[in-house]
Amino acid sequence: MSATDTTIDTPVAAPTLSKDEILRYSRHLIMPEVGMEGQLKLKQAKVLLIGTGGLGAPLGMYLAAAGIGRIGLVDFDVVDHTNLQRQIIHGTKDVGRKKLDSAADTMQDINPFVQIDKYEVALTSENALDILRDYDIVIDGTDNFPTRYLVNDACVLLGKPNVYGSIFRFEGQATVFAYEGGPCYRCLYPEPPPPGLVPSCAEGGVLGILPGMIGIVQATEAVKLILGKGEPLVGRLLLYDALAMRFRELKLRRNPECPVCGDHPTIHQLIDYYQFCGVPRQAEEPVAAAGDLTAAEVKAKIDRADDFVLIDVREPHEYQIAKIGYAKLIPLGELPKRLNELNTADEIVMHCKSGVRSAKAVDLLKQSGFKKVRNLKGGILAWSDTVDPSVPKY
Amino acid sequence: MAKILIPTPLRQYTDKKDTVELGGATVGEVLSALTSEHPDLRRHLYTDEGKLRSFVNVYLNDEDIRYLNRDSTPVATNDTLTIVPSIAGGITDVSH
């Protein structure tokens, strides 16, 4: 056997497209930028999608439709009604189901030719490298800081491109990190903000279409990387403003001093990202300060006509959605300037939507010399659950 | 006058303005004028030691000022400064 023969031996089973697949992908196949060669690359590609929420929904659907051969999904959440305004991979019929099952069903319905690997776990420092290792490209659709730094570091350590997207209200960011020596997320932001400073969509809201736009940018970049076509979104941070309907681009550079991808990295293994981001690991319930009142206790005070003041520290537009009739509205941001409307001699109860902002308001008042001030634990959500179900939850 | 683009999360500290126009010869001077006009913004941009926070970036036109001369970078009329803080819309899972 000559030397040239042995090189021909190596591809074991060259992938092919079936007649049905050729028909399905015909709009790709007739474009020279994709063609049969590109479609086979897509079929051989393995993409890991972390999260099947706002960003993950369009990602999962388009990646499946595009014919990515193997798509890993990581999620452990359950579909609820508030998801449906933007997470279009799930439907009303899926409320209460695991997002993993709901997303996989939608994707298999779109394209039964793709293989879907389901990981019903939270991505952690312990399991991330093992899960990511099998895939060519990683896409983080979770859009939270601990997972973002975890995925960033894991991708840098494994040498996998990390397709990034993030959203807030009407604005989004997207880029590709850790691709062929390009910058990583730590080059852009070495450290996360302290918890609570940057509101999540659950607190700050989000235009339902926005994650669609950013997720589709991420999906486009993943497909381009696989095809090896075009100019990847590397070294460029794309900013999108839906209100202005404007895209902008900023330069993104690898930081030679980056602790994970710099010239002299100091991070060689995954760390505790909850600690790094200042997020307490346990305790789902916000720590109940001594003296917190339950919704039922506040109701009893109102019924007994106790002498006390109930202050709602939410925003006026939230007050329009749902309110406790007895409460006076002073948004948290205005509270420092409106302390003169309150009397330190009065017993004061603060409430918000879930009890987090009102806990801050309680602290603020205590620092200002108020002593008889307490928090309504669980906020108006708890009020709706335990006192008055006619108050809508949002 | 340089134009400063304020991102959504920080507009609550700039009377909801998305753009502010201010004078200044350097990035530091323009930002200082900005935080004088909107004092609540200061602690969101700077640490107590007066350093730009590590989760806030400032761009002069499309270039990160960390790769120019940071606060000393000269600003010309019609330049645009963009403040880009890190954002994260997803919910942080704390159950693990």
Test B93 with A122 for CB contact under 8 angstroms: yes
Q: What pLDDT does B93 receive?
A: 67
Name the residue of chain A whose CA is nearest to B62's CA.
A250
Cα of B75 to nearest chain A Cα, Å: 17
Chain A residues within 8 A of B66 when measuring between CB atoms: 255
Mean pLDDT, contiguous 10-residue spans, chain A (394 residues)? 45 82 98 97 98 97 98 97 97 98 98 98 96 97 95 98 96 97 96 82 89 98 98 98 96 96 97 90 53 92 93 93 93 90 93 92 90 94 95 92
Round to whole Å and give the CA distance between A315 and B12. Answer: 12
Chain A residues within 8 A of B53 when measuring between CB atoms: 193
Cβ(B27)–Cβ(B60) below 8 Å: yes
Test A206 with B7 for CB contact under 8 angstroms: no
Strand ranges, E, within chain A: 46-50, 70-74, 115-119, 137-140, 162-168, 171-177, 236-241, 246-251, 309-312, 328-329, 348-351, 373-375
DSSP per residue, B19-72:
EEEE--SBHHHHHHHHHHHSGGGHHHHB-TTSPBPTTEEEEETTEEGGGTTGGG
Q: What pLDDT does A7 receive?
A: 46
- For an interface test with A, the pick among B81, B86, B95 (most A C-beta atoms closer than 10 Å) comes out as B86
Spell out the domain ranges in chain A. 16-276, 295-386
Name the residue of chain B whose CA is nearest to A141's CA.
B90
Round to whole Å and give the CA distance between A189 and A380. Answer: 35
DSSP A166: E
Round to whole Å and give the CA distance between A274 and A265. Answer: 21
pTM of this prediction? 0.85
Q: Which member of A168, A195, A253 has the closest CB to residue B64?
A: A253
Indicate the pairing of strand A309-312 with strand A328-329.
Answer: parallel
If phi > 0 it is left, if psi is from -120 to 50 it is alpha, else beta; for residue A154 that is: alpha
Query: Which tokens sit at A45?
Result: 């590609």
Mean pLDDT of B2-25: 94
Test B84 with A250 for CB contact under 8 angstroms: yes
Test A189 with B54 for CB contact under 8 angstroms: yes
Q: What pLDDT does A199 receive?
A: 75
Q: Which member of B7, B55, B63 has the closest CB to residue A189?
A: B55
Chain A residues within 8 A of B96 when measuring between CB atoms: 122, 124, 274, 281
Is the model's pLDDT at B30 over the cut of 70? yes
Q: Which member of A122, A193, A204 has the closest CB to residue B86?
A: A193
Q: What pLDDT does A143 receive?
A: 93
A145: which residues sit within 8 A by CB, 6+ positions away? A192, A193, A273, A277, A279, B86, B88, B92
The helix, strand and coil proportions of chain A, stated in percent and rounded to the nearest 5, come to 40, 15, 45
CB-count burial class (<10 Å; 0-12, 13-18, 19+) for A195:
middle
May I ask the CATH architecture of the domain A295-386? Answer: 3-Layer(aba) Sandwich (3.40)
Test A166 with B86 for CB contact under 8 angstroms: yes
Cβ(A236)–Cβ(A271) below 8 Å: no
Chain A residues within 8 A of B17 when measuring between CB atoms: none
Q: Is A352 a catalytic residue?
A: yes
Identify residue A175 by its one-letter amino acid code: T
Q: What pLDDT does A326 receive?
A: 87
Q: Which member of A53, A251, A277 has the closest CB to residue B90?
A: A53
Q: What pLDDT does A333 receive?
A: 87
Q: What pLDDT does A286 receive?
A: 47
pLDDT tens-digit readout, B47-84: 989 899 999 999 999 999 999 999 999 999 999 999 99
CA distances from residue A168 to A351, A386, B52 in whole angstroms, order as listed:
25, 31, 22
Name the residue of chain A whose CA is nearest to B15's CA.
A333
Three-point CA angle B10, B15, B17, nearest 5°: 70
CATH of domain A16-276: 3.40.50.720
DSSP A380: H
Helix (H) or strand (E) holding A19: helix A19-24
Round to whole Å and give the CA distance between A246 and A167. Answer: 15
Test A148 with B88 for CB contact under 8 angstroms: yes
pLDDT tens-digit readout, A23-60: 999 999 999 999 999 999 999 999 999 999 999 999 99
Class of domain B2-85: alpha beta
C-beta atoms surrounding A279 within 10 Å:
18
